[in-house]
Amino acid sequence: MTIQHRKLESAVVNDGCAPYIPQMITITTTVELERFCARAATFPFVTVDTEFLRERTYYAQLCLVQLAVPGSDPGDAVLVDTLADGIDLTPLWVLMGDKGVVKVFHAARQDLEIFYITSGVMPEPLFDSQVAAMVCGYGEQVGYETLVRKICSAGLDKSSRFTDWSRRPLSDKQKEYALADVTHLRDIYIALSTQLQETGRAAWVEEELAVLTAHDTYVTMPESAWRRIKTRSNSPRFLAVVQALAELREGLAQSRNVPRNRIFKDDVILELAATRPQTPQDLGKSRLLQREARKGELADAILTAVAGAMALPRDALPKIPEQRIRKSGQEGLSDLMRVLLKARAEEAGVAQKLIATSADLDDIVSGHHNGLPTLQGWRRKVFGEDALRLKSGEIALSADGDKVRILPIPQNADVS
């Protein structure tokens, strides 16, 4: 997953970002797609974006794919109409799997999920400009529009962002919006990848991208679906019913390809976990369950799930996540950790959230270090080692004007 620079120097040479290309090419046939993808495979990178709908389905409906290769000719940036009659997207999947071409996305997670679920192919090698921008000091989860403005000194018309991308024909305004998401991205990629190479931080980005390209990231197992439901109860039996109902809902949503809330919502799961209905009459007393779910196959499935959860032996009940219990006085140390994180992030020019979250800081203070990303790889060098030294009393923090200084404390020094 190395950020490649084969032919990068000659790929695009502009003083600023590439100008907008008014001639918009839409690919609607397999032959056209084969031709473009074969050409794209000769370049060091291709920028990629998608437009999709997922309001009415469990799995996102891919409506459009935007692709651009280095250059400024009209044919260097295209729209692929994935809904065109008879089009076979196999050439696109082959390109996405080509190890010799870097696939450049911005905020790639949803795009990668769609590609992986649709084709089984994970686009690699990958470059995510949002992740790279956080490493390069552009802030927390920086948006594409911000990068276009700061790197390309250009603006974007975002008025088509929430349009229905499944309707045809697409308007010129929609096409212009969609193409802009990959044409500017070419220059953003070159600017960020060059900065990463100059600062020696390309490996930092690759660590982040390893999570994005892990196949398990995009597979939701029904039996694990309950973990995303927020609940205030830690009762093992309550959680067992939540787990059973969430598994039922996830399985039905996947098999029917409908949003999970179309089956029933989270608050229904929590209500039924509390009331634990045993009969259709009990279901009829629910305040939140929709009428059509109180009878028929869905009602039977709900009652079966609840009964199964209630019959589980105690040693088979869901395990409650380990609670992070703070000891008296740890709040002050957590506050110092936050000061240290801010100082180190500013010094390194990296977004704080990329180095450590508030939960990470609390885990360090509480002594829960196993598997903590903040204490591994580049994060450990930038922040983790000093965080452990602060906790153990080996360093202190001091104000120096508007800067924070880190001072070593000699061993056996009296700091009382």
CATH assignment at residue 169: 3.30.420.10
What's the one-letter identity of residue 233? Answer: S
- The token duo for 271 is 């209500």
266 in any annotated domain: yes
- Based on the fold, state whether residues 398 and 348 are members of the same structural domain: yes
- Based on the fold, state whether residues 341 and 299 are members of the same structural domain: no
- Based on the fold, state whether residues 212 and 226 are members of the same structural domain: no
The pLDDT assigned to 368 comes to 85
29 in any annotated domain: yes
The pLDDT assigned to 366 comes to 87
**9: exposed, middle or buried (C-beta count within 10 Å: 0-12, 13-18, 19+)?**
exposed
Q: Nearest-CA neighbor of 76 among 6, 30, 2, 24?
A: 24
156 in any annotated domain: yes
- Based on the fold, state whether residues 383 and 337 are members of the same structural domain: yes
CA distance 298 to 296: 6
* Domain C-terminal end among 188, 218, 248: 218
What's the one-letter identity of residue 365? Answer: V
- Based on the fold, state whether residues 121 and 18 are members of the same structural domain: yes
* Domain C-terminal end among 316, 347, 382: 316
- Based on the fold, state whether residues 149 and 76 are members of the same structural domain: yes
Strand pairing category for 403-408 and 395-400: antiparallel
- The token duo for 202 is 């390309």
342 in any annotated domain: yes
Backbone φ, ψ for residue 195 (5° rounding): -65, -40
Number of domains in the chain: 3
Cβ pair 353, 208 in contact under 8 A = no
- Based on the fold, state whether residues 19 and 133 are members of the same structural domain: yes
166 in any annotated domain: yes
The pLDDT assigned to 266 comes to 97
The pLDDT assigned to 292 comes to 86
411 CB contacts (<8 Å, ≥6 apart)?
A: none
Backbone φ, ψ for residue 105 (5° rounding): -125, 165
The pLDDT assigned to 79 comes to 98
- Based on the fold, state whether residues 203 and 337 are members of the same structural domain: no
| 287: Cα within 13 Å, side-chain hemisphere | 5
Cβ pair 258, 58 in contact under 8 A = yes
Give kind and range of the element (H or E) at residue 413.
Answer: none
- Based on the fold, state whether residues 162 and 49 are members of the same structural domain: yes
- Based on the fold, state whether residues 53 and 110 are members of the same structural domain: yes
Q: Which CATH number fits the domain that encloses residue 290?
A: 1.10.150.80
Helices (H) and strands (E) in the chain, counts: 18, 8
- Based on the fold, state whether residues 397 and 261 are members of the same structural domain: no
* Domain C-terminal end among 218, 240, 271: 218
- Based on the fold, state whether residues 53 and 183 are members of the same structural domain: yes
pLDDT in tens, the chain (416 residues): 444 443 343 344 344 565 444 568 999 999 999 999 999 999 999 999 999 999 999 999 999 999 999 998 889 999 999 999 999 999 999 999 999 999 999 999 999 999 999 999 999 999 999 999 999 999 888 999 999 999 999 998 887 888 999 999 999 999 999 999 999 999 999 999 999 999 999 999 998 899 899 999 998 899 999 999 999 888 999 999 999 999 999 999 999 999 999 999 999 999 999 999 999 999 999 999 998 889 899 999 999 999 999 999 999 999 766 554 455 457 788 899 999 999 999 999 999 989 999 889 988 998 888 889 899 999 999 999 999 999 998 988 888 877 888 888 876 655 55
Cβ pair 188, 54 in contact under 8 A = no
CA distance 209 to 125: 9
The pLDDT assigned to 164 comes to 94
Please give the residue range of the domain that contains residue 354: 330-408
